[in-house]
Chain A
């Protein structure tokens, strides 16, 4: 499946609409769905290749970026100009705390042997230092239930909402497909494959707390090279990944997007505070790199085409981002209502 096309066309939205009425149809997807790039981890050896734009996961380590002054180009309104296309450098949402470790319990070996933990990228949880989410006991049990249900979705809630085209939410949007940042006086706009975020720079008040949203309500400001964003109003229905990690609607996120001096990388360092689910705040770190038309074609990280601009500047065209590709319980083996088990 090619993301570009699926993002443009909602042809299978007919199926999607039907399955809203009959949730079990969600599982009746073709085997080809498994060929989607998001489920195609590269062999471990490939993970050590330099960042030339190959697979989703290619970097096993990355450098910290210090907060400080911004010396790069600025927009007319004074914001650091970080507009353009970005994507994470580690892996997709298969596994939150062992990003290159595959989906736990995956019945398919995918021709891959995992080496020692140290050979793979670190946990996205950078604090606590053990890399584990500091769940309360009941919440850990619930996460493990979700994780176990991922390959045996006997309840609708075991289907990751993203698989039904729901917005990926926070933080998962940042390690789903590549995405675009556009900037305007007073705003930073994130355009994801599934959903958008409007970060308001000239506002200091959140929406009323009873309004709950997939991508929350974001207030931001710049501190030197760092975009600081305060996120509340999350509905917390989006999971962090296929490992079932979650927060509650009481979660509060303080995000710091720290951009490198050469404007080619940023690290997302965010503190999640959610006393309903966790025993203490924790920090999530996600590295990202810029993508341009000088990079090799990559429809996962950089779903664009060169614009039709004969004889003039090369410009990346972003076609409409309308989700269809995840309308199924993709990657899963699911019990059918008849009791029959069918891979899809």
Chain B
């Protein structure tokens, strides 16, 4: 019985090729596996929660400075940052900027002493001085004046010429306590023998004057009353925005929004701050900080500069 060949030999070259292929595949596969792993190796356990570290109060208590919501919080931060930093450097003490949505909240902080120094609106000072002894230590001087006005503005292409024309329209107030932003325009309406809720078609609060300007510029509101300082500052910074609006009325002069201190502030600190502010214009850094907020300098001011606002306030029944 002859031997029968039970298989066919594959060609030698094929065997060699297969062997080489296997040898090549292993490192390639290994590389692929390695590359697919991510960079971070530590596993975070999302279901295991630990209490957050409690903030350790700093050894040195910072000086807390509040700025009322006259302009939007971002713009406030940008404008007042150099001033804040200057004060901190001069006092060699950390300084914190505090902002809140409404004037009333700032007043509360001043009242409780949680805030030491504040830049408040005129009417907020009037109320605060009356209610809990908010103290005046200085006032900014802008373009040579320590007064400011309320501008009644409408969209540039609006036919409105006076408050009377705004009957049934949409009106934007700024803050409930604002002098220029609510008290004054309300007095205008009252002079027409009306009340704002019945006179206007719709009213709303923007909580900052530059947002009120934006509302009118965009046509969201048919009219608003804004702080003249803010309006003029906006004209420099964003002329396109301002050009979309038109001033139809200017109020009588009011005392400029002052710099106040909390009744809880110690007299030495108060005096220190006052002299710091009043001398600020004298050095280069101080001048730069003043330029950032758009002030010439700080000056002393008398409380009776704000009597006209007191009159206005008394005349206008405040919305509660």
Chains A and B bind each other: no
Interface residues of A (CB under 8 A from B): none
